[in-house]
Amino acid sequence: MELWKNIWGLFKISGNEPNLWWAFIVSCIVIVLAVLVIYKMIKPVK
């Protein structure tokens, strides 16, 4: 996943050790956004 590599790259830039708490929060946000996009694609808003 290129997107995940980019996100992980941001964590490595912000600190030597990636902050697992921020990684968890960001991954949750990404998953929620992906679910919303897929849901709207399956059920278009009328």
DSSP assignment of 2-45 equals HHHHHHHHHHHHH-SS--HHHHHHHHHHHHHHHHHHHHHHHS--
- The pLDDT tens digits for 2-41 are 776 776 676 665 555 556 777 788 888 999 999 999 998 8
pTM of the predicted structure, to 2 decimals: 0.48
Q: Rounded to whole angstroms, what are the CA distances from 29 to 22, 42, 45, 46?
A: 11, 20, 22, 26
Number of domains in the chain: 1
Q: Which domain holds residue 19?
A: 2-42
